[in-house]
Amino acid sequence: MQFFYTVQSGDTLSNIAARWSIPQASLMAANNLSAPYLIYPGQQLSMPPGVTTYVVQPGDTLHSISTKYKIPLRTLISANAIDQPYVITPAMVLNVPRGVPYYTVKQGDSLYKIASKYNVTSNGQPQPDFIVMANPGLTTKIIPGMNLQIPYGLPSVSGQIALLLTDQFRDYIVLYKPQSRDEVYLAVDNAGRNSRVFWSPNNNRIAYIDEDGVISIMELTTDRIAKIDQIPASAFVDWSPDSNLLVYSTGEVIRIYDITNYTYRDINRREASYVQWFPNQREFLYEAKDPLGFSQIYRNNVDGSNESQLSNRINGPFHDVSLSPDGKYVLYTSPGASISEIYVLELSTTIVYKIPSGPEAKNFYPTWAPDSHKIGYSSTFFKNGKYYSLIRVSNIQGSVNRTLAVSNCYATPMTWSPDSLKIAYLSGCREDRPPVEVWIVELNKPVPQNVMSGFLFFDLDYNH
């Protein structure tokens, strides 16, 4: 459900957004504000997810913190389950809600107006019935002073997401359609933080890599599941453009696996990683070591006959190597443990572009948009006793980039919608636990929408 902050005297959109580290564009879009973007005391604003922790400083009291954030004292006390005599001590990390989880009906309101104002929509149309369903016993007749829970609308996006999750009894790949909320559960074994899911280009198959590196193929037209191989953990596979072949590294060889007849052939290339097809299906891209032990990015024919160097050598492996869908660019992250910076190599010119980093210079899960023009990534930052991630998008050259949303995870997997206009990402981390929420945010109207919660999620991948 949406959270609502009541505007106080002296508030501006800028300082409200800064208080919770929310992108101001997201705050404006969440409330459908238009120029000159005026707000007034007593107005309720829908608050996108942001930084909701605060580290208690010497001299702080619950009253001073509630005053600083301009939220009711009882809201702060309730959010932290603090009992009388309401004592707090320096270095405590408190949860500071973005407001209250309900909207208070005003004179002149209708369910249609509320749905329209706060993006409770489906296919772009206000859906007052969603509000009725979120409030048991509610009718279409509302009166001033009523407190209503306001749900998120349905994203205007086609296709479906493969979500890898566990309910802590069984593990599943869930095929989820955000626009209709339809779900199909496919039981799998041994899911975990190193597990991955990969849609085939024709959307008829999913490759699943479990926690121990076992590769399974799921035939969605027949519900058949076949285990085909086992490779080193934290593994990566790539589908051929015709969806009939998988390519991956065993550490000793590059293996091409034919899904249609369950046969394979090997190319003798040790210690390769991130092996993937060029769009012509006649060449591979991969990262590997040269004879002197330096890491480089290579291009090679599928028979292994013409290996050529694409990058400068570095002392340490390239990470997150990914070929753009059009085959013209390669992105990768730097090998250091303390930083993780994103670079883009233009293959035709060998020019390397650097994508702007977040505050911690730790960037994770860089992902190409299907149109090959944009990159989404999770940019880690630390604030008020906790790690968060900025959900960011950049152009290829890194000259145009912006933050769309905030995830409360150290780093979060993300995936692009087929139209390259939306990003689905994971959030809802609790200390060292995996995320428990799936969100979708649109580039053109950055209103994060929570589309699924309640499970432990490990990975996600939009179909093509």
Cα separation values, 172 from 1, 87, 183, 190, Å: 25, 44, 11, 10
Structural domains of the chain, ranges and CATH numbers in brackets: 3-148 (3.10.350.10), 161-462 (2.120.10.30)
Tell me which residue has tokens 């369903």: 133
DSSP code for 128: H
pLDDT at 336: 65
Burial level of 87, CB count in 10 A (0-12/13-18/19+)?
exposed
Tens of pLDDT along the chain (464 residues)? Answer: 999 999 999 999 999 999 999 999 999 999 999 888 889 999 999 999 999 999 999 999 999 999 999 999 999 999 999 888 888 999 999 999 999 999 999 999 999 999 999 999 888 788 889 999 999 988 888 999 999 999 998 887 778 999 999 998 999 999 999 888 899 999 999 998 889 999 999 999 999 999 999 999 999 988 888 999 999 866 799 999 999 999 999 989 999 999 999 999 999 998 899 999 999 999 999 999 888 888 899 999 999 899 899 888 777 788 899 999 999 999 999 866 667 899 999 999 999 999 988 888 888 999 999 999 999 999 999 998 899 999 999 999 999 999 999 999 998 999 999 999 999 999 999 777 889 999 999 999 999 999 999 899 999 999 97
CB atoms inside a 10 Å sphere around CB 110 = 13
Name the E strands within 220-341: 224-230, 238-239, 245-249, 254-258, 263-267, 273-277, 283-289, 295-301, 308-309, 319-323, 329-333
pLDDT in tens, 9-39: 999 999 999 999 999 999 999 999 988 888 9
The span from the CA of 386 to the CA of 295, in Å, is 34
pLDDT in tens, 332-361: 998 666 678 999 999 999 999 999 888 888
Q: What is the pTM of this model?
A: 0.92
The span from the CA of 110 to the CA of 98, in Å, is 24
Which run of H or E residues covers position 29? helix 24-30
The span from the CA of 255 to the CA of 213, in Å, is 14
Strand-pair partners of 427: 437
